[in-house]
A and B are shown apart, each in its own frame.
Chain A
Amino acid sequence: MSEPDLSGEAADADLVERMATGNREAFASLFRRYHGLVYRFSVQMSGSRDVAEDVTQEVFIALAENHARYRPERGSLKAYMYGIARHLVVQREKRSWSRREVHLDTLQGDDAHIVATSFDPIGALSRAQAMLALRRAILRLPPHYREVIILCELNGLSYDEAAQAIGCRVGTIRSRLNRARRLLIERCRPCLCPTRNAARGQVESPASRRGARILSPESGR
């Protein structure tokens, strides 16, 4: 008898059901299916691969131990796991007593990895630096703005899924996203004119910056 052809949420519900009966393979399948999403989201939220590693591990341990809390009728498993990861990252930020430093070296797109490979090396370089500035601005956002930007803009969740993950209304997601985008534009206004910056030679050198360490989003407000 062959396995039923399940995909998407039905497959998730089936895997969770089997995992609840102690099926190790079902748990491993869930891990392989979602650990990338959870890890990426955690890196984007925290700016640290170490934190993301811990959070990913805790998310799946929580899923294994408290799988009964997941209700398929309330939303997708993906939104549920994003919700756990978000909660854990925010909890870690709240627990941190002093201002925490975030290692941007761990992020893709750091200055060290900026390589101009196109026919317009100056334009490509300024573009890469604009991306880096934007990453920093995202990390400086308050958590409730940061999470909607990361969920909807960087991970492609719909407003409904983001609302399920965060536990709020769709209208709240819309308004937060709008406000977060405006904050990013305000903070990255110089970077959003790459051609002008490149023409004026205003691209900052890596040495002129504060280095690859910036303050956490909590302290950046």
Chain B
Amino acid sequence: MTDREHQRLLTELLNEIAGADLQIDAPRGIEERVLRHWDAGATARAARIRWKHRTRGWLIPGAGALAAAMLLLGVVHRSPRWSIAVRVPVAHSEVGAQPTAVEAPTAAAMFPAVAPRPIAIARTEPEKGPHRVDTPGEIVSFMPLSPDARQDLLGSFQVARVLLPREVLADLGVVLDANRVGEPIQADVVFGEDGLARAIRLSNQGTGRSQ
């Protein structure tokens, strides 16, 4: 027999089986059991349907509001406290021919007339221990050595205490005392990040005499 004949015979037999299986009928007990199950679950199902209808109006907005409230609480709880801190520059004593002492004045102390207060609002972590703040002792105004000194010193800078020949005071426009020519004068020089002097403050400490 060819494959086509086999296929034809198979189709005929399958059709006969399909016709014979039409007589297969389910026992009546199934319907009773299934409907009994339906009746048993009717109460719970009705309650579920009622709940669904009742909650349909406010479920989505309510869930949204709840999620937003939880999100807000989480943000507030996790964010650090906002505080006001004074940025204190770090002082270094690595510049200068004869450094004697270093202090860290603020820009406002250096230029009280023109400099903005170096107070910034910053997010800082809560302090975990005692915080030491270097307080400058005697604050004397610095003289800017360049027109943009204030802007240049908004970043980091270094202050060095040096001894200068008294003649350099003439370059700063200071009148020299003829009796003290040749004596060195102590000064605090502020250097910017590029190493150039930005400001100077004359001091009588170290010499024992005021200019």
Contacts and interface: CB of A to CB of B under 8 A. Distances in A.
Given A131-B16, A192-B9, A39 B24 contact: yes
B46 interface: yes
B31 A134 contact: no
A109 B45 contact: no
B21 A154 contact: yes
B209 to A, nearest CB: 98
A22 B38 CA distance: 9
Contacts of A27: 35, 38
The 10 closest A-B pairs by CB, nearest first: A39-B26, A153-B14, A154-B18, A192-B9, A60-B34, A40-B24, A185-B6, A108-B20, A134-B13, A35-B26
Interface of A: 20-22, 24, 27-28, 31-32, 35-36, 38-40, 43-44, 52-53, 56-57, 60-61, 64-65, 108-109, 127, 130-131, 134-135, 149, 153-156, 181, 184-185, 188-189, 192-193
A134 B17 contact: yes
B41 A35 contact: no
A139 to B, nearest CB: 12
B49 to A, nearest CB: 6
A165 to B, nearest CB: 17
Interface in B1-47: 1, 3, 6-7, 9-11, 13-14, 16-18, 20-27, 29-31, 33-35, 37-39, 41-42, 45-46
Contacts of B1: 192-193
B30 A39 contact: yes
Q: Is the interface of B mostly helix, strand, loop or mixed?
A: helix
A154 B49 CA distance: 39
A155 to B, nearest CB: 7
A24 B38 CA distance: 8
Nearest to B44: A65
Nearest to B11: A153
Given A181-B10, A189-B6, A35 B31 contact: yes
A189 to B, nearest CB: 7
B21 A64 contact: no
A36 B25 contact: yes
Given A24-B35, A35-B30, A61-B37, A135 B17 contact: yes
A109 B22 CA distance: 12
B10 A184 contact: yes
19 contacts: A24-B39, A27-B38, A28-B35, A32-B31, A35-B26, A35-B30, A40-B21, A56-B30, A57-B34, A64-B37, A108-B23, A127-B13, A134-B13, A135-B17, A153-B14, A154-B18, A156-B18, A184-B10, A192-B6
Given A44-B21, A189-B6, 20 more contacts: A20-B49, A24-B42, A27-B38, A39-B30, A40-B24, A52-B26, A53-B26, A57-B30, A60-B34, A61-B34, A64-B37, A108-B21, A109-B17, A127-B13, A127-B16, A131-B20, A149-B14, A156-B18, A185-B3, A188-B10
Contact of A57 (B18, B21, B33): B33
Nearest to A61: B37
A109 B37 contact: no
Contacts of B3: 185
Nearest to B31: A31
Choose among B17, B20, B35, B39 the residue with the greatest number of A CB atoms under 10 Å from its CB. Answer: B17
Contacts of B22: 40
Contacts of A61: 34, 37
Contacts of A20: 49
B76 to A, nearest CB: 39
A23 to B, nearest CB: 10
Contact of A181 (B7, B35, B39): B7
Nearest to A32: B31
Contacts of B24: 36, 39-40, 43, 108
Interface in B106-137: none
